[in-house]
């Protein structure tokens, strides 16, 4: 059984690679039929691996998130303090995405558009990222950071303040205005300044002319 | 002359309104010819107001930025402390954009796509926003905030940390996950935590397994 499973896994990976090549060429999602033609196999053989069109899409998405998920799990399992973990948690995935973007900007933009169009297929991965970030926030709070905030509040605020480094569209838009150094300052800012304390930015009075 | 200028200005505004209605209907930029037809005027008359196609686009962009520019100038001219100004600087434009989005989500998305496609026509407005934000950062630094950072560094970091509230695409994407309350906490976080001090998030050592 193990031998067969491995062979099946290798074939699935090969079909996904063919699909990715075709997507990059055509600038749009491709069908199982196109992948069968591109891989020189029968329609029946591709359907054995991907019973529905959505299974092909899910396999592409799964492969896309393989590395980011491994990064998050490796960072979470490390023995670093929370601020170091949070930096690595965001920075390593940002560097990976930047590499992917710069290796083939046109293909990366196609994947951004596909991600927007099929956002429901990404949600379980986004939820997993939020789950891990909540673990990290809990560790940070145990170490004295983010005082007074519920974990869900801190999660939302942190996600918004680092969005430039986590959303693929933003990496395309901002490109070399983003850097590991700036991300480090942002994480330092979060640990130094994010709490439930009302610093008065919203104030209580309206504007008066000077 | 003044009477004629006012009449010309009113005609220009009317043509821009026709253009905006057509853009919302068609989901794409429209030509001067289409605006002439929509406004029931001759091609010569529209060309007197918009000598080139780009002049029509610039007039639409100018009208789009009328209110945001007025907001920025009103906030800058007020006598509030820097943290209150910075909140109002971002929050009032965010609320305006959210109103525009919710009033007609489809049309708003068309304007987002047009903004991306004709980004060069927006740059002078983005530069103006950066100019005003630099003034605000200088005031904040005079009041003791953002210690040790060059104004340009603070500008880039602040723009990145509030991007969810300033970029129209992000307002579409995040919608009701954005709020004035969260923006207030973000500005409080900036004033409490953003500085040149190295908090250690980037660290000096690699990851070790726990």
Angle between helices A53-76 and A82-103 (to 10 degrees): 140
Tokens of B43: 């091609």
pLDDT at B197 over 50: yes
C-alpha B172/C-alpha B101 separation (Å) is 7
pLDDT value, residue A205: 61
Work out the mean pLDDT of chain A and round it to a whole number: 92
Residue of B74, B178, B201 lying closest to A191 (CB–CB): B201
Nearest residue on chain A to B147, judged by CA atoms?
A189
Nearest to A182 among B78, B81, B156 (CB): B156
pLDDT score at B145: 98
What is the rounded CA–CA span in Å between residue B167 and residue A170?
10
Alpha carbon B201 to chain centroid distance? 31
Q: Under 8 Å CB-to-CB from A123, ≥6 apart: which residues?
A: none
Asked if the C-beta of B154 comes within 8 angstroms of chain A's C-beta atoms, the answer is no
Of all residues in chain B, what percent carry a pLDDT higher than 90? 84
Which residue on chain B is closest to A156 by alpha carbon?
B177
Tokens 């509040």 belong to A153
A143 near B CB under 8 A: no
Cβ neighbours, 10 Å, residue B203: 16
Q: What phi, psi does B199 have (nearest 5°)?
A: -85, -5
On the question of pLDDT at B3 being above 60, the answer is no
Whether chain A has a CB inside 8 Å of the CB on B171: the answer is no
The whole-angstrom distance between B174's CA and the closest CA on chain A is 9
Of the candidates A92, A72, A111, A86, the one whose C-alpha atom is nearest the C-alpha of residue A187 is A86
DSSP state of A78: B
Q: Which of B87, B169, B202 has its CB closest to that of A202?
A: B87
Length of chain A: 210
pTM: 0.91
- Helix or strand run (H / E) with residue A127: helix A123-142
Strands (E) located in chain B: none
What whole-number distance in Å separates Cα of residue A74 and Cα of residue A79?
10
Cα B194 to Cα B158: distance, rounded to the nearest angstrom: 9
**CB atoms closer than 10 angstroms to residue B66:** 10
Q: Which of residues 47-76 of B touch A (CB under 8 A)?
A: 74-75
Quote the pLDDT of residue A170.
94
List C-alpha distances in Å: B12 to A61, A139, B57, B67, B168.
Answer: 49, 59, 12, 17, 26
The count of C-alpha atoms lying within 13 angstroms of the C-alpha of A84, restricted to the half-sphere facing its C-beta, is 14
CA atoms within a 13 Å half-sphere pointing along the CA-CB vector of A15: 30
Query: What residue spans of A143-204 are helical by DSSP H?
Result: 151-161, 163-166, 168-174, 180-193
Question: Facing residues of B209 across strands?
Answer: A78
| Radius of gyration in angstroms for the set of CA atoms belonging to chain A, rounded to a whole number | 21
Structure tokens at B157: 């970091």
Taking CA–CA distances from A207, the nearest residue in chain B reads B78
Q: What pLDDT, in 10s, does the model give residues B81-139?
A: 999 999 999 999 999 999 999 999 999 999 998 898 899 999 999 999 999 999 999 99
Of the candidates A11, A28, A5, A6, the one whose C-alpha atom is nearest the C-alpha of residue A118 is A28
Rounded Cα distance between B68 and B91, Å, is 11
Q: Evaluate whether A36 touches A22 at the Cβ level (below 8 Å).
A: no
The reply to whether residue B84 touches residue A198, judged by beta carbons under 8 angstroms, is no
Alpha carbon of residue B45 to chain centroid: 31
- Interface touch A195/B194, C-beta < 8 Å: no
Chain A contact present for B185, CB below 8 A = yes
Return the SS3 of A209.
Answer: strand
Query: What tokens does B94 get?
Result: 């965010």
Token pair for residue B138? 């200088």
H or E element in which residue B197 lies: none
Q: Do B182 and A160 touch (CB under 8 A)?
A: yes
A136 contacts in chain B (CB < 8 Å): none
Cα A63 to Cα A45, A148, B71: the distances in Å are 20, 38, 46
Q: How far is CA B80 from the centre of its chain?
A: 22
The pLDDT of residue B205: 61
* Residue A206 pLDDT: 56
Q: What is the pLDDT of residues A52-75, one digit of tens each?
A: 999 999 999 999 999 999 999 999
Chain A touched by B44 (CB under 8 Å): no
Residue with the two structure tokens 């969810």:
B164
Mutate to test the interface with A, among B202, B203, B205, B209 (most CBs of A within 10 A): B202
Q: Do B191 and A174 touch (CB under 8 A)?
A: no
Dmax (CA) of chain B: 78
pLDDT in tens, A68-110: 999 999 999 999 999 999 999 999 999 999 999 999 999 999 9
Which of chain A's residues have a Cβ under 8 Å away from the Cβ of B83? 199-201
């Amino acid at each position: 059984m193990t031998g067969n499973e491995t062979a099946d896994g290798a074939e699935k990976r090969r079909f996904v690679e063919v699909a990715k090549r075709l997507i990059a060429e055509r600038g749009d999602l491709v069908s199982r039929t196109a992948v069968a033609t591109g891989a020189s196999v029968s329609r029946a053989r591709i359907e054995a691996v991907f019973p529905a069109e959505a299974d092909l899409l899910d396999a592409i998405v799964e492969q896309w998130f393989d590395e980011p998920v491994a990064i998050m799990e490796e960072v979470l399992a490390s023995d670093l303090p929370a601020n170091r973990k949070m930096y690595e948690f965001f920075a390593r995935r940002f560097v990976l995405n930047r590499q992917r973007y710069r290796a083939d900007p046109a293909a990366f933009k196609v994947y951004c558009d596909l991600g927007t169009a099929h956002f429901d297929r990404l949600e379980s991965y986004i939820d997993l990222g939020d789950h891990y970030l909540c673990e990290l926030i809990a560790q940070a709070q145990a170490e004295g950071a983010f005082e007074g905030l519920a974990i869900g509040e801190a999660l939302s605020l942190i996600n918004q303040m680092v969005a430039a480094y986590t959303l693929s569209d933003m990496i395309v838009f901002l490109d070399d205005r983003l850097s590991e150094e700036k991300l480090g300052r942002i994480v330092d800012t979060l640990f130094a300044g994010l709490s439930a304390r009302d610093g008065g930015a919203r104030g209580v009075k309206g504007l008066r002319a000077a």
